[in-house]
Chain A
Amino acid sequence: MISKEEVKHIAELARIKLTESQIEKYQKELSGILDFVSALANVDTTAVAPIRQITGLESVFRKDEDLGLLDQNQGQILIKQAPEHRDGFVVVPEVIKRDK
């Protein structure tokens, strides 16, 4: 069983705010899921390479050219769907505190 402190830590890393009752609920559920997936420890994987890409493609490139998928207008439609926008830009919360 993972601890409540661990649930709080995971939630913080995942940037999800939880209520006390959620922490309790997720503590049980996440512990159950982690117990279940821990069964993999029983598999001998010595000398087995992990899958990186299932069909084996490597270093795929395409030409760096404008495919005309989005024009200025469509781009603006996307930006206007952000919760806060101004003059065609997405407004982000303050990241670095200003000197007072």
Chain B
Amino acid sequence: MNQFSNLTITKARELLDNKEISAVELTQYYLNQIKSKNKDLNAFLSVSESALDQAKKSDEEIKNGSAGSLVGIPLAIKDNILVKDEICTAGSKILEKYKAAYDATVITRLKRAGAVILGKTNLDEYAMGSSTENSAFGPTKNPYDTSRVPGGSSGGSAAAVAAEMCLGALGTDTGGSIRQPASFCGVVGLKPTYGAVSRFGAVALGSSLDQIGPLAKTIEDASLIFDVISGHDPLDSTTVPNNTRTAERIAEINIGDLRIGWPKEYFEAEGIDPKVKETVQKAIAWYEAQGAKIKEISLPHTQYALAAYYIIQPAECSANLARYDGVRYGERSGDGDLMSVYTQSRGEFLGEETQRRVMIGTYVLSSGYYDAYYSKAQKVRSLIKQDFINAFEEVDVIMTPTSPVTAFKIGERVSNPLAMYAADIFTVTANLAGICGLSINCGQVDGLPVGLQILGPWFEENLLFKVGEFFTRCQYTNLCE
């Protein structure tokens, strides 16, 4: 079955259309991959029993010549996105047996395009974490080194793509949860612009920050998935109308016309690994050598972004997670009276990090503290957004490391919440400002992948794809240096 290794979505589509392989063979290959690798990696929480039936349907469609852009392509879905009739745990004990009664909009769109849903991937509980260690179902391991984390919270999706257990995956990104694991596992990850992709049917975390996006092996694959899932949806009122994306790229941009912002606050940040910095600098220097203009810019409120994020996100999560109350989902604990049902169910079944964030959120929203914390953070968020508005008047895109470090050891940060939060330092800004961000691999340090983050203005995903491809195309053809 060697013809299947190192396949991309684009390549697989070609082979399927030319009838060189069948969708059933392709799906069977990935089911076997999952079977042999999941014991070690714990990337998948469940595998769909209908995968082969879906693939049979794809083969019919290909035979009839009515193929959608993802027909027969086996994908993995982060387990906080509803797939009808499949369990959706969100990494939480409370939803351990929860079966979805309908499809999320992104799933409806993937199915319409012909994709085969292989199964659901592991995540930090309710997508809170940067290592996938907060999952109630055990941590996912990094395929590059199983003693290390894959990043998080979409760690299962990133590991599944990197370990060839699927051709592509969906994740969610509230503060870096697609880009940081993509960086740690050496794959491509896109956090779309806020409002580009419908969240209907995704388990809500921080509603003013959450976006669903693709993880894939190549930028082209990620853009194929993005084209399918993006667009206005009446069921998510935050999706922006008239922003339907198509495969059309920004063809007219030459690398020589490109203005790249180099934000000093990111490269001078405390805690950045000098080797990570050097690897990212080298990638940016490659762009410069090809004629792109590198401009030093300032995003002066960067140092406050993490603090603003860790007020706004917990505040929103404390409201969103109020529904897990021992009445509607999961198991009920307590002595029968209302208060004890609430407190004991949430005390017993919510994980530690979830409890921490819910309590922080409750505190900052509580009477007397709202102005000092939540309102203040939303004002700082305005300033961070303004920083980006100013920057994008001078440059087309901004380049930074995705994460200050490479994949860390399992257990290294889990007992220190603030050390874990620091893993998000370069990614939270995009969520706060609502802009789009792409992480691509730009090299390795001591055998572990390093991510280059490319940030672009609102709804400029196609620009990010184009800019990223300048670099990745050169990597594939070994023309770098």
Contact = CB atoms under 8 A, between A and B. Distances in A.
Interface of A: 7, 10-18, 26, 29-30, 32-34, 36-43, 45, 48-55, 57, 60, 62-63, 67, 69-70, 74-75, 77-78, 81-84, 90, 92-95
B325 A15 contact: yes
Contact of A90 (B304, B328, B355): B328
Given A13-B366, A75-B101, 12 more contacts: A11-B343, A14-B346, A17-B344, A26-B359, A39-B307, A40-B377, A50-B375, A53-B208, A54-B433, A60-B237, A70-B102, A82-B327
Contacts of A17: 340, 343-344, 346-348
Contacts of B334: 93
B460 to A, nearest CB: 13
B359 A37 contact: no
B383 A33 contact: no
Interface in B362-412: 362-364, 366, 372-373, 375-383, 385
Interface in B323-362: 325-332, 334, 336-344, 346-348, 350, 355-356, 358-362
A36 B350 CA distance: 24
B346 A40 contact: no
B437 interface: no
A26 to B, nearest CB: 7
Contacts of A15: 322, 325, 339, 342-343, 346
User: Among the interface residues A42, A93, A94, which one has the most CB atoms of the partner chain B within 10 A?
Assistant: A93
Given A29-B417, A54-B194, A37 B332 contact: no
Interface residues of B, number: 74
Nearest to B330: A83
B343 A10 contact: no
A70 B101 contact: yes
Nearest to B237: A60
Contacts of B385: 51, 54
Contacts of B98: 81
B240 A57 contact: yes
B363 A93 contact: no
22 contacts: A7-B359, A10-B359, A10-B366, A15-B346, A16-B355, A33-B360, A33-B418, A36-B306, A36-B421, A37-B307, A40-B307, A40-B308, A43-B379, A43-B383, A51-B381, A55-B195, A55-B458, A57-B237, A70-B102, A83-B329, A84-B332, A94-B336
Given A16-B346, A75-B101, A32 B417 contact: yes
A63 B336 CA distance: 41
B226 to A, nearest CB: 17
A77 B350 CA distance: 23
A16 B362 CA distance: 11
A54 B366 contact: no
B97 interface: yes
B240 A90 contact: no
User: Among the interface residues A15, A16, A42, A63, which one has the most CB atoms of the partner chain B within 10 A?
Assistant: A15
B391 to A, nearest CB: 16
B169 to A, nearest CB: 25
B338 A94 contact: yes
B273 to A, nearest CB: 21
DSSP class of A's interface residues: helix, strand, loop or mixed? loop
B331 A83 contact: yes
A62 B336 contact: no
Interface string B90-123: 0000000111011000000000000000000000
B83 to A, nearest CB: 14
A34 B417 CA distance: 12
Please name the 10 residue pairs, one residue from A and one from B, whose CB atoms are nearest each other, closest first.
A17-B347, A50-B378, A54-B434, A83-B332, A17-B343, A60-B237, A45-B379, A15-B342, A14-B362, A74-B101
Contacts of B301: 43
Given A40-B307, A40-B311, A55-B195, A14 B318 contact: yes
A92 B375 CA distance: 35
Given A30-B360, A39-B304, A90 B327 contact: yes
Contact of A49 (B326, B360, B379): B379
A5 to B, nearest CB: 13
A33 B379 contact: no
Contacts of A39: 303-304, 307
A87 B229 CA distance: 38
Interface in B274-328: 301, 303-304, 306-308, 310-311, 318, 322, 325-328
B384 to A, nearest CB: 9
A54 B334 CA distance: 40
B234 interface: yes
Contact of A77 (B101, B193, B307): B101
B101 to A, nearest CB: 4
A14 B377 contact: no
A60 B340 CA distance: 38
A16 B380 contact: no
Contact of B99 (A7, A30, A53, A81): A81
